[in-house]
Each structure stands twice: as C-alpha cells, then as structure tokens.
Amino acid sequence: MVSVEDYVARTEGTCGQEKDVIVTFKYDKKGDAIARIMKKAKLEKSIANIIFELTFEGFSFRLYPSGKAIFRSLRDKQELDRILAGLLL
C-alpha cells in the first residue's frame, strides 16, 4: 500500500520567526508527488513558474518544481501528516 513515506524524503522545521516546515520529496518520486499535489490543490498564484502558491483544505502552502514545499502555520506534525496524506494519497 502506498504511504506518505513513499513520497517524502524529509521534513524540516525552518529557523526564523516564520516557523515554516519544509518538505522535500524523494528524488525519484518528486515528479509524481508534484503532479498529485497540483491535481488536488487549488493554484492561487504562480511566481515566474518557480513558486506555486496553492491552497488545500484551507491551508496555504508553496510548491517548488525542485521537489520541495513550504507549509506555514501548522499546529503540529499530525496536521502536516494529515495534509500530506490528503495531497499525496
């Protein structure tokens, strides 16, 4: 059975007042992960085709074609896991 771990290489809290979480997708799965996310989330804005500002279930986040995403204002890891599961599975 496919799981979030099949797509996600690592998640890391950023340093700074913003308290963002950066999710890096596995190199060989990043294309699939980006395609799934773009299909399920709503594209709000694209900056120079590098930064895709998306929303999903009321959460806004940014996705990068290099296979990384920044999630903001998350309560905890469980919330991130739930959103990632919704986006990827």
Indicate the residue among 83 and 89 with the shorter CB distance to other proteins: 83
Indicate the residue among 68 and 82 with the shorter CB distance to other proteins: 68
Rg (CA), the chain: 12
The DSSP output letter for 57 is: T
Give me the least distance between CB of 72 and other proteins, in Å please: 8
Indicate the residue among 51 and 85 with the shorter CB distance to other proteins: 51
Question: What angle separates helix 30-40 from helix 77-88, to the nearest 10 degrees?
Answer: 90
For residue 48, report the phi and psi dihedrals to the nearest 5 degrees.
Answer: 55, 25
Chain residues that interact with other proteins, rule: CB under 8 A: 14-18, 20, 22, 47-48, 50-51, 62, 64-66, 68, 70
